[in-house]
Amino acid sequence: MQAFIVHRYGDPTARRIGEVPLPEPASDEVLVKVHAAGINPLDSKLAAGAYKAVLPYRTPFILGHDLAGVVERIGRGVTRFQPGDAVFARPRDGRIGTLAAFIAVNEADLARKPANLTMEQAASLPLVGLTAWQILVERAHVEAGQKVLIHAGSGGFGTIAIQLAKHLGAHVATTTGPANLALVQRLGAAVAVNYRSERFEDRLEGYDLVINTQDKATLERSIGVLKPGGQLISLSGPPDAEFAREAGLNPLLRLVVGAMSAAIRRKARRHAVRYAFHLMRASGAQLERLTPLLENGTIQPVVDRIYPFAQIAEAFAHLESGHARGKLVVRID
């Protein structure tokens, strides 16, 4: 079968379409024929080698963290799915590879595709939807009336996080460029800061939660908009010691990872706020909790462009330009 393969870390020319064997599902796995796959900044960072210490994939490996497709075959221990079921998923770390004709996915990572969504729309959602749910619902316990700042609101994660935070009753602020102000307001942002002409910390104060997806400077400036006891959660790093423990890293790596975030954690403590790094995890059960919100229109996918599989290099070039509105999706022909 065809797949998009990373042959060497850190070299964009070493990422290309090639032939690989058809995967064989284990007892607890489902073989899915992939119809569409979302692409994410995580894919680019992983291929560049940014996560080799914590996600040590051995090259060559197949890239891709989002899928929507149809069950082709099930392992002998699978009970929740049957051939022909339409599904979507973010496969667990160590078992990624959605940019391929087929993938074997653990049953626990899969959910039935929302009935009202196309395959392309469904493929845009698992990674960003799970990330938003795990931060807003599971980790920060966002409640009605709280104030939440979500950076880069027009991006793949931001477009979904704004909608979920608004559904939870939060007062939502976001940062974006001038071309996307109307988009983020339509999605539910009560305050949209044009980062090209304004400094968000000059407009915002007393926030309960800031979710950072941007650079170190934005991360540090975000501390000032939080009220005492507030939370600063970053998807872009640096990782912290709690993440290192949860990832099962050895003691030496835990020390190294903890040192990476020491400065921002000290600064957060001086302002009486908490800092944490978040790396999402796969969960079919949480996708099922998101499904009613997708089917009733509370959360709507935002898909910028859909690329044919043959143009996957162009898709990554657009992703890495930083100008995508919502998600980019590859149709697996």
Query: 131-153 pLDDT, tens per residue?
Result: 999 999 999 999 999 999 999 99
Class of domain 127-277: alpha beta
What integer is the mean pLDDT of 13-22?
Answer: 96
Cβ neighbours around 178 below 10 Å, total: 11
The pLDDT score that the predictor gives to residue 125 is: 98
Task: Give yes or no for a contact between 125 and 164, defined as CB atoms under 8 angstroms apart.
Answer: no
Dist CA 129 CA 194 (whole Å):
25
The pLDDT score that the predictor gives to residue 220 is: 97
The pLDDT score that the predictor gives to residue 333 is: 80
Q: Which of 88-97, 188-197, 234-243 has the lowest mean pLDDT?
A: 234-243
Residue linked to tokens 């080698």: 49
Q: Looking at the domain that runs over 2-124+302-331, which CATH code has it been given?
A: 3.90.180.10
Strand partners, 89: 67, 110
The pLDDT score that the predictor gives to residue 111 is: 98
pTM given for the model: 0.96
Question: What secondary structure letter does DSSP report for 65?
Answer: -
Cβ neighbours around 141 below 10 Å, total: 12
Q: Which has the closest alpha carbon to 324: 309, 293, 302, 301?
A: 302
What integer is the mean pLDDT of 85-93?
Answer: 97
100 has a pLDDT exceeding 80 = yes
Place 76 in a pLDDT band, splitting at 50, 70 and 90. very high
Considering the chain, what percentage of its residues have pLDDT values greater than 70? 100
Q: CA distances (Å), 251 to each of 70, 226, 240, 248, 258, in order?
A: 42, 32, 13, 9, 10
Segments making up each domain of the chain, as ranges: 2-124+302-331, 127-277
Considering the chain, what percentage of its residues have pLDDT values greater than 90? 89
pLDDT digits (tens, 9 = 90+) for 226-279: 999 999 999 998 888 787 777 777 787 778 777 888 999 999 999 999 999 998
pLDDT digits (tens, 9 = 90+) for 297-313: 999 999 999 999 999 99
